[in-house]
Amino acid sequence: MPRELCIVEPPPERGHSIITLLSLAQFQGTLSTPLKEHSYPGSHVDQQVKERLLASIEANRLVILIGAGLSMAPPSQLPSAAAVAADCFDRYTAGANPNLDPALRENLEALAEYFFARNTLETVFISRLVPWQRFVRPPNAGHAALADFLTTRVVAAALSSNYDILVEQAAWNYGARLTGALDGDEANVHAASHSPLLKFHGCAIRDPKATVWTKLQLNQGALSDRIEKSRTWMQSILREKDLLVVGFWSDWSYLNEILGNALSNVSPLSVTLVDPSTSADLEAKAPALWTLAHKPGVTFSHVQASGHTVLDELRRAFSLRFLRLVLRAGVAPLQSETEAPCQPEWLEPPDLDAESLYDLRRDAEGVPAGSPATRREPDNNELLGFFHLLLRRAGATPVAGGYEIKGQRVRVLNGAGQILSRLRDRFQEAPVLNSANVVAAIGATDLATPGNVVRSGRSGDIIRPAAQARWVDFRDARQLLDV
């Protein structure tokens, strides 16, 4: 059976869309119930495409390759290669050499080669001219999505040509300990705690003097060894995988050439390219990668779209699927108690942004803000799903952070196997993160004893704010909310 190609082209006035490619065999039977379309503003992703991409995630076959284009999106807005070259050129000509060839001003590779030829690439160019401070910016939605995917092992790996630490920073913001690997050996070590992030051209924080700026560096001893380890690892990780390329085909031609050579013997099942440039421009900039993507047996598609938006929509799709599984776990006990069928609308998560859905996933895992979500799949917790469905059956309105019902704002946590008072102590969050009146810790055991003999604090106390919500277990939550 041939692999299927699914292409979604948006009408010209609607902006962008996602293209993804998977085998039909992968898709069949992966999702027991079709997903429903949501009305998330700005979403133009065909529902069938979302389902097939989720099937790739299910099979642990998705690898994401990111480049400079991702980090140029707001609010990150990192400089392009041409902008970095101009900055370095202007600083150098203002001081050391006002007669430097103007043709080098917007050609980063040629400018790096100028310093390499004079044996000053590390001491002058990298150490004194590169505007590293311009790489210190907030992560965008695409970085947040990648951080989520790596810490939950939603993707098999991510490969990055970027020096910035915005993916790592996004993970740290969630409380995850994620470290970028500089070669294949490090990637194997990091795989024990999260899916690897291989930064095959170096890092602005970890040994910036060893970052790669020109192919002329590749014959240097230590750097050559590092690139070879990365090449071997990439060839291994990409075999029989679906490759999603986001913002990589850049104006840094040597980066494209290096990666193209590294992947020359790799045959991924599919290559999906997300980049706003035209196909003709992409082929001209990266002929080796273009050849890889068009090998016999490799299905290729190009979608002219913003990478950070595509990743954000993919993250939403994953989160919605995760939360549907939480709800569906409660169907059997609900129908057993009520002797009536569960209504389909009760099984749909709220139509929220990716960050709000991430918060709901953390609550379904039972982890507080400041700790990351780590699960690809939720626990098959019937009691948790049952309580969600009881609220929905009683007319509760799903909102960011939980529900509104009968004048109460209710947050629902997975408290399975925990003591209620100790769980409450773990969730000492900033008041803005928890505006609920009631926190229902489903599965927790209420021993009616304090979890901590240390003074709990006062309302408004900036050192240890007291919890304002009423914490209850499953039984007391049912009685309190009459569900």
Secondary element (H or E) of residue 160: strand 157-160
Phi, psi of 206 (to 5 degrees): -90, 105
β-partners of residue 236 are none
The pLDDT tens digits of the residues spanning 309-361 come to 989 999 999 999 999 999 999 999 999 999 999 999 999 999 999 999 999 99
**Distances in whole angstroms, Cα of residue 131 to Cα of each of 80, 119, 123, 308, 471:** 12, 20, 14, 24, 50
Please measure the distance between the N-terminal and C-terminal CA atoms of the chain and give it in whole angstroms: 51
Q: How far is 212 from 216, CA to CA, in rounded Å?
A: 9
Q: What pLDDT is recorded for position 304? A: 75
Structure confidence at residue 20 as a pLDDT band (50, 70, 90): very low
Range with lowest mean pLDDT among 45-59, 417-431, 437-451: 45-59
Q: What pLDDT is recorded for position 434? A: 54
Q: What pLDDT is recorded for position 142? A: 96
- Amino acid identity of residue 77, one-letter, is Q
The residue extents of the domains of the chain are 12-75+136-310, 81-130, 341-481
Q: What pLDDT is recorded for position 107? A: 92
Phi, psi of 482 (to 5 degrees): 55, 55
What sections of 191-293 are H helices per DSSP?
A: 221-238, 253-262, 279-285, 287-293
Laid out side by side, the sheet with 242-246 consists of: 197-199, 157-160, 62-66, 242-246, 270-274, 299-303
Q: What pLDDT is recorded for position 240? A: 85
CA dihedral 45, 46, 51, 57 (to 10 degrees): -30
Q: What pLDDT is recorded for position 18? A: 29
Q: How far is 446 from 108, CA to CA, in rounded Å?
A: 63
Give, as one character, the DSSP assignment of residue 127: I
The pTM score is 0.84
Length of the chain: 483
Q: What pLDDT is recorded for position 252? A: 54
How many C-beta atoms lie closer than 10 Å to residue 232's C-beta? 14
> Structure tokens of 3?
């692999």
The mean pLDDT value for 8-28 works out to: 29
Q: Is the pLDDT of residue 432 over 70?
A: no
Q: Is the pLDDT of residue 454 over 60?
A: no
The pLDDT tens digits of the residues spanning 362-415 come to 999 999 999 999 999 999 999 999 999 999 999 999 999 999 999 999 999 999
The mean pLDDT value for 244-252 works out to: 71
Pairing of strands 397-399, 242-246: unpaired
Contact 469, 434 (CB under 8 A): yes
> Structure tokens of 458?
């006062």
Q: What pLDDT is recorded for position 256? A: 61
Higher pLDDT, 205 or 284: 205
Secondary element (H or E) of residue 274: strand 270-274
Q: How far is 204 from 279, CA to CA, in rounded Å?
A: 31
Q: Look at residues 432, 437, 439 and name the one whose alpha carbon lies nearest to residue 462.
A: 432
Q: Look at residues 133, 127, 98 and name the one whose alpha carbon lies nearest to residue 115.
A: 127
Q: What pLDDT is recorded for position 25? A: 27
Q: What pLDDT is recorded for position 430? A: 67
How many C-beta atoms lie closer than 10 Å to residue 28's C-beta? 9
Encode 187-203 in three state secondary structure: HHHHCCCCCCEEECCCC
Higher pLDDT, 472 or 248: 472
How many C-beta atoms lie closer than 10 Å to residue 298's C-beta? 17
Higher pLDDT, 321 or 19: 321
Give, as one character, the DSSP assignment of residue 243: E
Domain 12-75+136-310 has CATH 3.40.50.1220: yes
Burial class (CB in 10 A: 0-12, 13-18, 19+), 369: middle
Range with lowest mean pLDDT among 10-19, 33-42, 135-144: 10-19
β-partners of residue 160 are 66, 199
The mean pLDDT value for 95-109 works out to: 93
Q: Is the pLDDT of residue 459 over 50?
A: no
User: b/e per residue, 426-459, with b = 16+ CB within 10 A?
Assistant: ebbeeeeebebebbbbbbbbbeeeebeeeebeee
Percentage of residues of the chain with pLDDT beyond 90 = 59
Q: What pLDDT is recorded for position 286? A: 74
Contact 393, 401 (CB under 8 A): no
Structure confidence at residue 7 as a pLDDT band (50, 70, 90): very low
The mean pLDDT value for 111-135 works out to: 96
Q: How far is 365 from 356, CA to CA, in rounded Å?
A: 14
Contact 267, 297 (CB under 8 A): yes
Query: How many separate helices (H) and strands (E) can be counted in the chain?
Result: 18, 11
Q: Look at residues 345, 355, 362 and name the one whose alpha carbon lies nearest to residue 397.
A: 345
Give, as one character, the DSSP assignment of residue 156: S
Q: Look at residues 51, 77, 22 and name the one whose alpha carbon lies nearest to residue 306.
A: 77
Q: How far is 483 from 474, CA to CA, in rounded Å?
A: 11
The mean pLDDT value for 35-40 works out to: 39
Higher pLDDT, 454 or 413: 413
Q: Would you report the helix, strand and coil content of the chain in percent, each value rounded to 5?
A: 45, 10, 45
Contact 237, 188 (CB under 8 A): no
